[in-house]
Amino acid sequence: MSMSARTTIDLEQAWDLIQKGITKLKNNLEGLAEEQLSVADNMMLYTTFYNMWTQKRSHDYPQELYDKYRDSFEEYIVSKVQPDLRERHDEFMLRELVKRWANHKIMVRWLSYFFRYLDRYFIVQKSLPPLNAVGLTCFREMVYKETNGKVRDAVISLIDQEREGEQIDRDLLKKLVDIFVEIGIDCYENDFEAAMLKDAASYYSRKASKWILELSYLDYMLKVAECLKRERERVAHYLHSSSEPKLLEKVQHELLSVYANQLLEKEHSGCYSLLRDKEEKIEDLPIKPTKEVFLKSSDGDIFAVDYNVALMLESIKDMVEYEANSTANSSIPLKVSSKILIKIIEYCHKHAESSDSEDKTSGTDLKEWDAKFVEVDNATLSDLILASNDLNIKSLQDLACQKVGDLISMLNIRDEFHPKEEKEEFLKEIR
């Protein structure tokens, strides 16, 4: 009698059929010359699982199938993935890891589909990790933990090479960074981002110690503007968006805050008399320099800000005008952290730049930029609202409040997916 007639089937008999399908999938992933999984293969696997689940309870094997699901990944990793990665080095290892991670995700997707009856019933009843999580855990424990240190160091090295003007494979870098993110954002932050930020600080500390001695005030500030621009591009191309404020904060600190006093001395050594001879360099700046004022964050960091940008902080406008015409060269203290002040300066800088632009498309581009700007965590969004209110930057306050409104509307629309407790927690975060 065929299995489609729902005959009783024991585990050994069923696993023999299932194993054939899994083996074909593994061979496909290895690029071996073999047919793809056919419709008939899929039906056979589906029918096997269906019969095992719907037959009499004395003959079902959910726990054994759950264990064998995990064993399938572990066996494949031990026999194929680990040996191939261990015998490769440098860029060859990186490219192999990218390929293996892509293959692993395919395998998780297919096997989770075949074993889906476990997810629907047995796993829920037993409060076990879902199938996708089991597949991810196997890769994290058996591959990621063995390779993440090498990958982290290699990626950071490539980033530094790019900072030095070398051409690198940005697509490869993005795929490697995405592995950290997809394994878990905590892995990205702890295993990669922390070291990346430390390296960035070290890199720009070395550069700043050299540039401060060699460059005029104007050339130094042009160099800072270029570095910040390049770091934003790196985030856009291959880092996670959450790294942008942290990375820019490191760059600002090493290039500006550390050398605030020396920059003040340079500014008043006659450097502005050089402006007439450097018009072509001034054109490289997003906003033409007029005067600069210094803003001091609540953390004690000092930021050199273009006068036109600082004027957008309406609540301290009088102080900005006073400091711009003063010879005292003191900084304006703000009750805003360095992290949030960097974001505010970035926002004002972009809007000042846009207002000077004659490009008709700049309005559309600015709306897109604004939308991306407020794609931040709830705590940062809350801090932006408070700071923009305190500094009376109405456009930023409206933008951030609109983002909160959109998020709340989304929660209201999706009531069935977001319990009341989750909404209350969200509202607490943004207050």
Residue 276 has pLDDT above 70, yes or no: no
The answer as to whether 393 is a domain residue is no
DSSP assignments along 294-311, one per residue: EEE-TTS-EEEEEHHHHT
pLDDT reported for residue 410: 63
The answer as to whether 45 is a domain residue is yes
Which DSSP category does 414 fall into? T
Residue 45 has pLDDT above 90, yes or no: no
Q: Which helix (H) or strand (E) holds 105?
A: helix 90-114
Please give the tally of structural domains in the chain: 1
The answer as to whether 288 is a domain residue is no
pLDDT reported for residue 270: 41
Residue 4 has pLDDT above 50, yes or no: no
Contacts 24+ apart (CB under 8 A), 22-28: 22/72, 22/111, 25/107, 25/110, 25/111, 26/76, 26/80, 26/107
Give the Cα separation of 347 and 312 in Å (integer): 10
Residue 186 burial class via C-beta count within 10 angstroms: exposed 0-12, middle 13-18, buried 19 and up: exposed
Question: Could you give the percent of the chain with pLDDT greater than 70?
Answer: 79
CATH classification at residue 47: 1.20.1310.10
pLDDT reported for residue 426: 45
Residue 235 has pLDDT above 80, yes or no: yes
Q: Residue holding tokens 């490869």?
A: 172
- Average pLDDT over the chain reads 80
pLDDT reported for residue 274: 35
- Give the angle subtended at the CA of 20 by the CAs of 72 and 12, to the nearest 5°: 75
The answer as to whether 13 is a domain residue is yes
pLDDT reported for residue 284: 46
The answer as to whether 100 is a domain residue is yes
CB 131 within 8 A of CB 111: yes
The answer as to whether 112 is a domain residue is yes
pLDDT reported for residue 55: 65
Poorest-pLDDT segment among 97-101, 166-170, 237-241, 343-347: 343-347
- Split at pLDDT 50, 70, 90, the class of 418 is very low
The answer as to whether 232 is a domain residue is no
Strands 302-306 and 292-296, how do they pair? antiparallel
CB 65 within 8 A of CB 150: no
pLDDT reported for residue 275: 34
- Structural domain containing residue 132: 3-150
The answer as to whether 352 is a domain residue is no
